[in-house]
Amino acid sequence: MRIIDLHCYPGTQTWIDSQGPYVEALAKYWSRGWVAKSEEDVIAEFTGAGVEAMLVALDLETTVATPPCTNDYVHAMWKRHPERVIQCWGTLDPFKGELAMREAKKAMTELGFIGFHFHPIMQHFAVNDTRFYPLFELLDELGAAVMIDVGTTGMGAGMPGGMGARIRHAHPAAIDDLAADFPNLKIIMAHPGWPWVDETTAVALHKGNVYWEMSGWAPKYFPASLKVDMRARLQDKIMFGSDYPSLPYSRILKEWMELGYSDAVMEKIFHGNAERVLGL
């Protein structure tokens, strides 16, 4: 069965460096550290798991003053390994104004990206903040899809003040607003959306232009109601993502199969919905 992984970080030292102080905070929260991998080892892990990866760039320069893991970086990795990396989500810092607008145009027209990923908690903004609507208007015009994290994060968790981040920025209500205001924009919500799983489900069901990928969680810990909805009323909305390198593929894929879904449902989740919605 084809497996498209919508949410893969490069896993290299460049990516780790882009997270700045969040690396130490996350290591404390998860009781394990981030260990940089070589590019060859990352590709070998994609190959071993049989996944076709979509790489995610990261720009936290405004919030933590670290050099970004840039769009050019993930693009180069894609082009070096086209047999295993099939697309990229670019990164944009909405606080960079005109620079972000220029970067959006370049990523879509020159680099050929499918769209952009936003991490509202770590980037310190909500996607329904109308100050940034000119950027989303441009993305809409460019035909870009967007992948937006929803729910809380381990980044900064347990640290004084959460390192200045606000989990409310990743509430599904923000995506509900964005989807209503930009009905032609394809929006992928990333992660299960805890602690607002029911509200995230409501947004996915109500907004025809909103979809949902389940990266970052071990499937056995998905809430019971979500496990039911994914094989029923959400089966045409759900896509597979890992949040690589957060969890090993061996565990993620094993636990997905242990959910007991039919082959028809798993075909949709692992590749069919992404093919249909994103044209992969």
**Residue 53, pLDDT score:** 98
Q: Which two tokens stand for residue 19?
A: 């997270």
Q: What is the pLDDT of residue 164?
A: 78
**Would you state the pLDDT for residue 228?**
98
Strand ranges (DSSP E) for the chain? 3-8, 51-56, 85-91, 115-118, 145-149, 187-190, 210-213, 238-239
Q: Could you tell me which of 220, 175, 219 has the C-alpha nearest to residue 196?
A: 175
- Integer Cα distance of 25 and 216 in angstroms: 17
Consecutive H or E run containing 8: strand 3-8
Q: What is the pLDDT of residue 20?
A: 84
Write the DSSP symbol of residue 43.
H
DSSP 168: G
Tell me the C-alpha distance between 242 and 218, whole Å.
9
3-278 CATH: 3.20.20.140
Please tell me the distance from the alpha carbon of residue 24 to that of residue 22, in angstroms, as a whole number.
6
Q: Would you say 252 and 18 are in contact if contact means Cβ atoms under 8 Å apart?
A: no
In 42-139 the beta strands, taken as DSSP E runs, fall at 51-56, 85-91, 115-118
Q: Answer yes or no: are the C-beta atoms of 224 and 194 closer than 8 Å.
A: no
Neighbours of 98 (CB within 10 A): 9
Decide the pairing of beta strands 145-149 and 187-190: parallel
pTM for this entry: 0.96
CA separation for the pair 252, 258 (Å, rounded): 10
Q: What is the pLDDT along the chain (280 residues), one digit of tens a residue?
A: 999 999 999 999 999 999 888 777 777 766 666 789 999 999 999 999 999 999 999 999 999 999 999 999 999 999 999 999 999 999 999 999 999 999 999 999 999 999 999 999 999 999 999 999 999 999 999 999 999 999 987 776 777 777 778 999 999 999 999 999 999 999 999 999 999 999 999 999 999 999 999 999 999 999 999 999 999 999 999 999 999 998 999 999 999 999 999 999 999 999 999 999 999 9
Q: How far is Cα of residue 107 from the mean position of the Cα atoms in its chain?
A: 17
Q: Diameter of the chain by CA atoms?
A: 48
- Exposure letters 44-55 (e unless 16+ CB within 10 A, then b): ebbeebebbbbb
pLDDT for the residue numbered 30: 66
Q: Which residue has the tokens 């208007």?
A: 137
CA distances from 33 to 22, 27, 29, 57 (A): 11, 4, 10, 20
Do 260 and 25 meet the contact criterion of CB atoms below 8 Å apart? no
What pLDDT score was predicted for residue 150? 98
Tell me which residue of 243, 242, 238, 241 sits closest to 273, measured CA to CA: 238
The torsion angles phi and psi of 75, rounded to 5 degrees, stand at -60, -45
φ/ψ of residue 3, rounded to 5: -125, 115
- Domain spans in the chain, listed from the N-terminal domain onward: 3-278
